A and B are shown apart, each in its own frame.
Chain A
């Protein structure tokens, strides 16, 4: 967050009225959305709080999903819309939970900061005229910097809600956006608000962070334009992609010899993440298959330590990639270097051939980055402690028999907040969390009779 927004947020006005909901769900990724829909269908009043301007989490940014190769946004966009339109769900985007106090079973008091978009939500039609008029360009977060967005911008083509945001820290106060808005929605005098709510139970679904691969200096991420992350590659392959085709960032050329480096920032004590990220093998195989479809003449090589194809249909998916011609090399990457023409030399230890040191030239390298915990949410619990495990994931009450319960009765988890996992497992956990909430609230309410 920049200095100007911080200054404006410091003057947040607290609303007097305390609102009541049955459940607070923190995080609007696929986990939070699914729990919200399940609970709303059961008749509970749900408040879903998302810190970004749109719900959708990581899933709505993906291309397709393994192993079925179904289109990710075709699955997630209708779910996002269902959340936004359900009469039992109140959605607060661009908002942050600041404080949670537990007063008793079934009684949590919560303070939420609603950040100003500087756009009236009830007026904005998402027409993007403000975006076209704004002169300032900055890297677009939702495309992981692969292209730019304006200081006045619609977060994403399929954003829910599709409402503009003003990035006040990059604004030059020219007024162009305000002058062109056809409905007068832009309001720089909009104030941040603190909203007080009382809820009976909470689901924490704040997901994961991507491993900051710049930490692994020898992989040259951020130094060489043709070294990108797997999340960037998923964006390049998505229907809502940042480019007009599958192209490399160095010069917009179609890549013809692409390498994937698995376990980038996972299973690696030297960077403080000894855990397997569980999805990188499969999403890399997915991307390799999609690339073979998009660029039939391209060579695709996957450098791996071992392929962990443990789920339903995963082994077949792996074999299918081999049959399509994807080259798998069991090798540890020692170094990545540029050539004069912008290609990349990958130095690797060829494990299956006696550990010989070899090198290969590629014109694009994809680092299959791992998933890291997102533990900040634990800090908002004031008089009760949300315990974390030794790696920073939220600690499960019992991994075997109560995987979605936490150290606080009435607080449950869904999705990647307790550890890396794929979308089907996330959805199963989201349903489990919803069922636990229903049981908890019924028990608390029966006890209170």
Chain B
């Protein structure tokens, strides 16, 4: 459906990588690993039930600033939705189906 099969043709990204001998830096790989961990912790926490940032922090052990930063990134990518607000002024977020 319009997507290219990697088997059919070598991707230009891999041609460039091989031609210039490029490798993602160690820091970048570490960052990506950490991001994947954060993402799966947050997604797990809000999969079934909508939660506020402090509630997600309590459950995951992540700090609130990091959680909120990722939530807003996912929100803008349409992966999560807001479901109401508490009296203290915290929105509740839930993973979209």
Q: Which residues of A contact B (CB under 8 A)?
A: 4, 7-8, 131-132, 135-137, 140, 146-149, 170-175, 177-184, 186-189, 225, 242-245, 247, 249-256, 342
Contact = CB atoms under 8 A, between A and B. Distances in A.
A173 B68 contact: no
Contacts of A253: 53, 88-90
Given A189-B12, A252-B53, A184 B4 contact: yes
Nearest to B75: A244
Given A147-B76, A244-B91, A253-B89, A188 B65 contact: no
A171 B24 contact: yes
A170 B28 contact: yes
A380 to B, nearest CB: 28
B11 A179 contact: yes
Interface residues of B, number: 43
B4 A179 contact: yes
Contacts of A244: 72, 75, 82, 91
B40 to A, nearest CB: 12
Contacts of B35: 135-137
A255 B6 CA distance: 49
Interface in B13-61: 13-17, 20, 22, 24, 28-29, 31-32, 35-36, 52-54, 57
A173 B22 contact: yes
A57 B28 CA distance: 30
Given A178-B11, A188-B15, A243 B24 contact: no
Nearest to B76: A147
B52 A252 contact: yes
Say whether chain B's binding surface is mostly helix, strand, loop, or mixed. helix
A187 B12 contact: yes
A243 B12 contact: no
Nearest to B23: A173
A175 B15 CA distance: 11
Interface of B: 2-6, 11-17, 20, 22, 24, 28-29, 31-32, 35-36, 52-54, 57, 64-65, 67-73, 75-77, 82, 85, 88-91
A365 B33 CA distance: 33
Nearest to A150: B77
Given A131-B77, A189-B12, A148 B65 contact: no
Nearest to B88: A253
A251 B77 contact: no
Given A172-B29, A188-B15, A252 B64 contact: yes
A251 B64 contact: yes
Nearest to A255: B89
A179 B7 CA distance: 11
A146 to B, nearest CB: 7
Given A132-B77, A179-B4, A189-B15, 4 more contacts: A4-B20, A135-B36, A179-B3, A186-B12
3 smallest CB-CB distances across A and B, nearest first, come from A254-B89, A251-B64, A148-B73
A250 B64 contact: yes
Nearest to A135: B32
A175 B65 contact: no
A136 B22 contact: no
Contacts of A180: 3
Contacts of A7: 20
Contacts of A172: 24, 28-29, 32
B3 A182 contact: yes
A253 B87 CA distance: 10
A252 B68 contact: yes
Contact of A251 (B2, B11, B31, B90): B90
B12 A188 contact: yes
B65 A251 contact: yes
Residue in A174, A188, A256, A342 whose Cβ sees the most chain B Cβ within 10 Å? A188
Contacts of B89: 253-256
B12 A250 contact: no
A250 B65 contact: yes
B65 A171 contact: no
Contacts of B65: 225, 249-251
A175 B11 contact: yes
A187 to B, nearest CB: 5
A180 B3 CA distance: 5
A294 to B, nearest CB: 12
A245 B69 contact: no
Contacts of A186: 12-13
Nearest to B82: A244
Contact of B90 (A135, A170, A252): A252
Contacts of B90: 251-254
Contacts of B91: 244-245, 247, 252
B13 A175 contact: yes
B16 A189 contact: yes
11 contacts: A135-B36, A136-B32, A178-B12, A178-B13, A179-B6, A179-B11, A181-B4, A189-B12, A252-B52, A252-B71, A253-B90
